[in-house]
Structure 1
Amino acid sequence: MYIGLDLGTSGLKGVLIDDGQAIRAEATAPLEVSRPHDGWSEQDPATWLTATDRVMRELGAKADLSGVRGVGLSGQMHGATLVDAGHEVLRPCILWNDTRSHAEAAVLDADPRFREVTGNIVFPGFTAPKLAWVRNHEPEVFGRTALVLLPKDYLRLWLTGEAVAEMSDAAGTSWLDTGRRDWDDGLLEATHLTRAQMPRLVEGSEASGALRAELAMQWGLPQGVVVAGGGGDNAASAVGVGVVQAGEAFVSLGTSGVLFAASGAYQPDAASAVHTFCHALPETWHQMGVILAAADALNWYAKIVGQKASDLTGALGDLRAPGRTLFLPYLGGERTPHNDARIRGSFLHLDHATDRAAMTRAVLEGVTHAFRDSFDALTGTGTRIERLIAVGGGSRSDYWVKAIATSFGLPIEIPVAGDFGGAFGAARLGLMAATGAGVEIATAPPIARTVEPDLSLTPAFAEAHARYRDTYAALKGRA
């Protein structure tokens, strides 16, 4: 049996799978975020350890863990966890959605080496600008920093005693040479750090160490349980849904939106604001377009009109051509392809004939157009998207999924109900590390149905998307 632990922002989830990859038990523990100042987002790493202990004990209460052979880790990316030479935490972890280091990010991004080596824009949420902020504002903490760890890798340090990171998470730091899959000494030097302060690197499906004997005893696990490298949250989720080969992709209609495509080659295009990261599997990369408000935009609109989101989408009937009303879903700025923190959402071209259904369709269409921006950015770099799976709460809306399928001109597969996310993918990586199994075990989940595009409406969606892009450009010009 194998355990996957997914350290999210709002909670830690654990799943136990058997040799046939069936889920035998699962458990969760909540986590809280601290926001001491505007734009700050922090967590106390000690709460991650408490949550892990709670989840492991709950799994042990539900199933016999004496046959566990491997553990895999998944987690929120980009967070800066700073520890001293004695492995004591120096300050709360600065999380992925913390924007305090926007000035430092701009300075680093102006250095052409960062985009050339990492293949990505230096976003304020990435790890390197956070360390630059700490050096500027908390020099005593910076001076005592012996190790910089990502959230799941601090959890690994506690589990195994080993300071190790893996490629998919490390690619989101702005210090990794993403093509060579190694730390870059020049980029570290640019932020006044050295390789000695970085964890050792492994692939996500490799062993990173063994579970400490005292923890194994406490939780009822055998000695010598292998802990896999694991993956960043989206890479681990991709392993969970079987998106591991070039041509495979998933679209996630969660609070935010993600279009994730696996790639067998390193093909960055930093200017497009596409995230080009290593995958959690050897010799594989992935590209990712990120929308900051996907289902979040629909939920915002549903709250405004006092209706359930599911009722609004369920009343729409069959897909139709986009109307004149436009919605730009930039409620908190946007990443791909705009990298624009200042732009905000808009309804446009409202008239007396605009009713609630028209505005609901406009919201779904606006997010669809934002996904099309990411689709164009990814495919513009040469990334193939031939098979597409939809996940996330928004995928329960057939109207929305069909709109995206029609905009892309591709069928979209809907998995059967079940949890195939980060924790499940982490468990699969634990299985690989413990047994030497290859990528062939990362199969797609059973498919409940396939949503076909309405190719007769694809030109209308293309025309609406062009108007959407023109509207964004006009609004940006007035910002």
Structure 2
Amino acid sequence: MDAYIGLDVGTQGMKGVVVDDAGSVLDTAYAPYPTQSPAPGWQEQNPQDWLMAYDEVLQRLMAKHLPVVYRGIGFTGQMHTTVACNANGVPVRPAILWSDTRAAGYGEALEQRYGLDTLVRQTANKPLANFSVLRLLWMKDHEPQHYRTIQRVAVAKDWVRDQVTGTFMADVTDGSGTYLFDVGRRQWNWEWMQTLSIPREWWADAVESPTVVGDLRRGPEALQSIPVVAGAGDQEASAVGTGLTNEGDLGVSIGTSGVIFWPRAGFSLPPHPSIHAFCHAVPGMWHWMAVTQSAALSLRWYRDAFAPTLSYRDLDELAASSPAGSRGLLFFPYLQGERAPLMNAQAQGTLMGLRPEHQAADIVRAILEGVVFSLFHAWLMMKPAQKKSLERMVATGGGAQSTLWMQILADVFQIPVTVVDDPGAAVGAAWLARRAVGGDVKELSRRVRKVVEPSQNQGIYAERFHAYRSMAMNLNGLWGKERV
């Protein structure tokens, strides 16, 4: 039986999976590694820890002696995490993680110097602190001794893959996250690099995700010389794993943060600067993505602060005892500021409409509803580009385990919600390896756990969302310049 390996260089550790030719997971392994925070807002990792985790994960996978023939390996990992290296690929300093905020001021400086419209035309995106080039500009000013020695720059998964194949390559999805990429043409934006005085020689050729870029040179004997595939960023690899590869699909993930992922058959600039436009892992496809900062985090905050003895199932049952609309309560899940669509780091979590008759059930339900309202608010920034009806919504993340949350999602978006098993980015990476060796990336079978149809509460939620959106605009004005 043929099999493929997917490796995910995650934020907290390396995950490896073995999948068969049909996409079923045969085995998994995991190895953690530490993160350092040497200053407030800084998040760093030692790339050598990734390599040690790589060795450990492959050893564990091979220890099972599965009766399979390994045909390929695909990589994925944390996007934006920046590894600056010398000519031999040795990091000149620790890797700067995607979550690191030290370069936030550089995005603001770029906007002031060039204007947001110009930046979006160059890169298809608003400059955020996690884009790779902002970290490099920070290094140029604050660590010139390291900046002068840079000869190569890579993201996490590309650096590991380069180390184990000896081939310096990049892919179009992670290229999109550097802020130096022409997303529409799926190639580096050399002119923009020149404008920013960033050497083009630092960057590897960017290829499509299901492309063989070398063969394995480091690892167990059973895997030596098998094809290694470029792979994709974790968001795009996860989309492959859950089947989000058609323009009629809309993906919604309710994890710590909330993510809307919309595959696009052609490239166009997003209609709102809070929307990201990246290359998809599927050749010839792009995607728009919106992120809300505090999705399931909002529910965790409530539980930890007010109901630490209750499980999430208990909270779900409690919320179900409150009617749709939470008896007039509105929750604005801006506990960590908000990205889409407010773009306001100063936004604050708000519970509005409290009266003496409100109970805990109403508050919990308002939190669930507020998270969905925030996602729908972000979707409305994309919706003007919609040319045909969505065929389905695919829901993943921890929040998808809540039937009530999924019902609210179906009612607010007014579309059936398909809840699927979330195999993770590593499975998507393995499937990209299968696609490169032979086959179609769209063939990955998905296990559907349930389909939730819209209920009679659609009208109630349409009215409540109108109130939510109006109040969000007013509140955003209190926190700073109104940008909705």
Please indicate the TM-score interval, normalised by the length of the shorter structure: over 0.9
2:216 and 2:223 in contact (8 A); partners too = no
State the SS of the aligned residue for 2:428.
Answer: helix
Paired residues of 2:7 and 2:17 also in contact (CA < 8 A) = yes
Matches of 1:143 and 1:286, distance apart in 2: 35
Maintained 8 Å contact 1:11/1:31: yes
1:152-192 superposed Cα distances (whole Å, 9 cap, x missing partner): 11111111111111111111111110000000012212332
User: How many residues are aligned here?
Assistant: 470
Aligned pair 1:91/2:93, yes or no? yes
Cα deviation 1:413-448 (Å, max 9, x = unaligned) = 122xx552101100000111122x2233234x1212
Aligned to 1:199: 204
User: Conserved in 2, the CA contact under 8 Å of 1:2 and 1:431?
Assistant: yes
- Residues 31-40 or 393-402, more deviating: 31-40
Aligned to 1:271, what secondary structure does the other structure show? coil
Aligned with 2:146: secondary structure?
A: helix
1:304 has 2:317 as partner = no
Paired AA for residue 49 in structure 1:
L
Name the structure 2 match of 1:354: 358
Which whole-Å CA distance do the structure 2 matches of 1:136 and 1:466 have between them? Answer: 46
Cα distance, 1:117 vs. partner? Answer: 2.2
8 Å contact kept, 1:108–1:129 = no
Q: Which AA in structure 2 matches 1:464?
A: R
Deviation at 1:379, TM superposition (A): 1.7
1:257–1:290 contact (8 Å) kept in structure 2: yes
> Taking structure 2 as the reference length, what is the TM-score of the superposition?
0.93
Letter in 1 for 2:281: A
Counterpart of 2:53, as a letter, is: A
Q: Deviations over 1:364-403 (max 9, x none)?
A: 0110111101221222233753211111111111110110
Checking the alignment, whether the CA contact within 8 Å between 1:226 and 1:433 is kept in structure 2 is: no
SS at match of 2:179: coil
1:211-360 matched pairs, under 5 angstroms: 211-212=216-217, 215-216=218-219, 219-269=220-270, 271-305=272-306, 306=308, 307-317=310-320, 320-322=323-325, 323-360=327-364
The equivalent position to 2:384 in structure 1, one of 374, 380, 384, is 380
Q: What residue ranges of structure 2 are gaps of 5+ in the alignment?
A: 480-484
Please give the secondary structure, in 2, of the residue aligned with 1:144.
coil
Quote the Cα distance in structure 2 between the aligned partners of 1:3 and 1:277: 25
Say if 1:237 and 1:318 are closer, same or farther in 2 by CA, change over 3 A: farther
Contact 1:113–1:187 (8 Å) recurs in 2 = no
Matched-pair contact (CA < 8 Å) for 1:166–1:201: yes
The residue type equivalent to 1:101 in the other structure is A
Q: Distance in 1 between matches of 2:163 and 2:265?
A: 33
Taking only the aligned residue pairs, the percentage that are identical comes to 34
Displacement after TM superposition at 1:462 (Å): 2.0
Separation in structure 2 between the aligned mates of residue 221 and residue 319 of structure 1, nearest angstrom: 57
Bigger shift: 247-256 or 176-185?
247-256
Within a 5 Å distance, the mapping from 1:159-170 to structure 2 comes to 159-170=164-175
The verdict on how the C-alpha distance between 1:270 and 1:49 changes in structure 2, with shifts beyond 3 A counting, is farther
- Say whether residues 1:75 and 2:77 are aligned partners: yes
Deviation of 1:271 after TM superposition, in Å, equals 3.1
Q: Please give the secondary structure, in 1, of the residue aligned with 2:277.
A: strand
Distance 1:254 1:297 in 2: 10
Give yes or no for contact 1:209–1:227 (8 Å, CA) kept in 2.
Answer: yes
CA distance in 2, matches of 1:78, 1:329: 25
Alpha-carbon distance change, 196 to 113 in structure 1, aligned in 2, over 3 angstroms:
farther
Q: Work out the CA distance in 2 between the residues paired with 1:383 and 1:320.
A: 34
Structure 2 partner of 1:128:
133
Cα contact 1:389–1:413 (8 A) shared by 2? yes
CA contact under 8 A between 2:8 and 2:77: conserved in structure 1?
Answer: yes
Q: 1:467 to 1:262 in 2, by over 3 A?
A: same
2:106 is aligned to 104
Take 1:233 and 1:253, find their aligned partners in 2: how far apart are those partners?
16
SS in 1 for 2:328: coil
Aligned to 2:424: 421
| Pair 1:22 & 2:24 matched | yes
Runs of 4+ aligned structure 1 residues displaced above 6 Å come to none
Q: Which residue of structure 2 aligns with residue 190 of structure 1?
A: 195
Structure 1 CA distance, aligned partners of 2:410 and 2:84?
43
**Equivalent-residue separation in structure 1 for 2:67 and 2:146 (angstroms):** 40
Take 1:98 and 1:51, find their aligned partners in 2: how far apart are those partners?
22
Q: What amino acid does structure 2 have at the position aligned with 1:316? A: A
CA contact (8 A) 2:322 2:361 kept: no
Letter in 1 for 2:108: A
Q: Report SS of the residue matched to 1:37.
A: coil
Instruction: Provide the aligned C-alpha RMSD in A.
Output: 1.7
Residues 453, 66 of structure 1: alpha-carbon distance in 2 compared, 3 angstrom cutoff: closer
Q: Distance in 2 between matches of 1:419 and 1:54?
A: 24
Contact preservation (8 Å) 2:51, 2:160: yes
Q: Partner letter of residue 51 of structure 2?
A: L
Cα pair distance change 1:460/1:26, threshold 3 Å: same
Asked whether the equivalents of residues 81 and 93 of structure 1 are also in contact (C-alpha less than 8 Å), the reply is yes
Q: What SS is found at the alignment partner of 1:399?
A: helix
Alignment of 1:471 with 2:471, yes or no, is yes
For residue 412 of structure 2, the aligned residue among 407, 412, 431 is: 407
CA displacement at 1:318 relative to structure 2: 7.0
Offset at residue 272 of structure 1 (A) = 3.7
1:109/1:159 Cα in 2 relative to 1: closer, same or farther (>3 Å)? farther
Distance in 1 of aligned mates of 2:152 and 2:366: 48
CA contact (8 A) 2:22 2:444 kept: no
Q: Does the Cα contact within 8 Å between 1:272 and 1:377 map onto a contact in 2?
A: no
Q: Distance in 1 between matches of 2:472 and 2:165?
A: 49
1:325-347: CA deviation from partner (whole Å, max 9, x where unpaired): 11111111111112211212111
CA distance in 1, matches of 2:424, 2:449: 17
Asked if structure 2 preserves the Cα contact closer than 8 Å seen for 1:121 and 1:273, the reply is: yes
Contact 2:252 2:258 in 1 (8 A): yes
For residue 469 of structure 2, what is the amino acid of its counterpart? Answer: R
C-alpha separation between the residues in 1 aligned to 2:361 and 2:466?
A: 22
Partner Cα separation in structure 1 for residue 267 and residue 330 of structure 2: 36
